[in-house]
Amino acid sequence: MRFSAWDGEVQEAVTTIQKFRLRVSDLHELHVEEHGNPNGTPIVFLHGGPGGGTSPAQILSFDPTRFRIISFDQRGAGRSTPSAEIAENTTSALISDLEVIRERLQIERWFVAGGSWGSCLALAYGEAHPERCLGFRLHGIFLAGPADIDWWFHGSRMIFPDHWESFASFIPANERHDLLSAYYRRLVSDDPETRLAAAISLRTFSATTQTFLPDPDHVSRLIEPAAALAVSRIFTHYCMNGAFLEPDQLIKNIDCIRHLPCEIVQGRYDTVTPMASAWALAKAWPEARFTIVTEANHQSTRGPMAEALREAADRLSFTLATAAA
Amino acid at 138: L
Which residue is catalytic, options 298, 300, 314, 317? 298
Q: How many CB atoms lie within 10 A of CB 72?
A: 27
Which residue is catalytic, options 270, 277, 300, 314? 270
Q: Is 47 a catalytic residue?
A: no
Q: Is 116 a catalytic residue?
A: yes
Q: Is 63 a catalytic residue?
A: no
Catalytic residue annotation: 116, 270, 298
